[in-house]
Amino acid sequence: MGKKINVAYTYTESYIPPRCRKPRYRDAQGETTIEIPIVKPEDAPIAFRHPDSRLSASMDEEYYGWGEYPNRIEYSKTLTQKEYRFWNGNLYTRQHMGDVVCYGKGWRTVEDLENCLSTHNRHSYSFALGKCPDTKEEVEYAIQAGAEEYLLVDNSGVLEVWSKDAEPMYNFTTFGLGHNHGGTGMFIDNHYNPNIPATHYFNALHRDEAINAAVAAALLRGDDKSVESIRSTEVIEVLMPECVKRNPMIDHGDGDPFLNKLNAITEIAGSSFEAGLLVIAETTKNL
């Protein structure tokens, strides 16, 4: 069962005018139908959940930025939970209007999704092909691929809009020159950053290991003011351990060599001033 949506679109059509041999190109109109699956909550159980400040902002709840609260565990209890449903081999999170427009408020409605999908914009679907689709076949393929990102959950007669998301994991990141200049932060993330090495990522079952590694990195850099925040990092609640697939040491690479070198400098420097001079010298060598 699913919700069918008619999608009008424009594509590039080739034609040969009378008395011509070479094709010309023009915009043409087409229409296709997509279908978004509808499932019951029990058919798409919750696999993970964790507090999410961005989601809280969309719900118009007061929240603080990173480093502005004394104990993240206590503060996280006030935040809206981001939940991940597992269905047909994929994870989905409920979409809020902050996912759609800047400073959007509330949960995304089916009406808003239908309005957005019913008129095709070529550029918005370019991710499906790695290029802007032009031909009728390319456009229809891209539209169908876009529709496959969504899932509708029938929650007591109310259709909720959910979209594919990646498995949550822990990540620690260093900022600034060390010695509490910038600090060391611990986060819940869904995607790998190519600038950050695999050793800074941990799957949802390895929170303790992630905290220990982050604290060790912070102390090595002299970021002692970051330790309390790291130790009280929000918790990823794992309700379906079989959905934990992340293996950063295999999935992810070594990070950017130059940034790794700068990070190593901040670990050996005796002060942020010394780190700054060493960073400038290393950067100058690479100009």
The per-residue pLDDT for 86 is: 98
| 94-134: pLDDT as tens digits | 999 989 888 889 999 999 999 988 876 655 555 556 666 68
pLDDT higher for 67 or 219?
219
CB 128 within 8 A of CB 146: yes
Instruction: Say if strands 237-238 and 90-94 run parallel, antiparallel, or are unpaired.
Output: unpaired
- Alpha carbon distances (Å) from 182 to 118, 174, 243, 269: 46, 8, 34, 15
The per-residue pLDDT for 135 is: 85
**List of residues 6+ apart from 212 with CB closer than 8 A:** none
User: What pTM was computed for the model?
Assistant: 0.88
- Report percent pLDDT > 70 for the chain: 92
The per-residue pLDDT for 162 is: 98
Confidence label for 159 from pLDDT (cuts 50, 70 and 90): very high
Domain ranges of the chain: 2-165, 169-285
257: Cα within 13 Å, side-chain hemisphere: 1
The per-residue pLDDT for 63 is: 60
pLDDT above 90: residue 59: no
The per-residue pLDDT for 149 is: 95
* CB neighbour burial string for 215-254, b if at least 16 within 10 angstroms, e if fewer: bebbeebbbeebbebbebbbbbbbeeeebbebebeeebee
Which region among 31-45, 70-84, 109-123, 124-138 has the lowest average model confidence (pLDDT)?
124-138
Q: What is the mean pLDDT of the chain?
A: 89
Reference 117, options 148, 157, 89, 92; nearest CA is 148
pLDDT above 70: residue 136: yes
| 234-263: pLDDT as tens digits | 999 999 999 999 999 999 989 899 988 888
Find tokens 């957005």 and name the residue. 116
Reference 66, options 199, 234, 201; nearest CA is 234
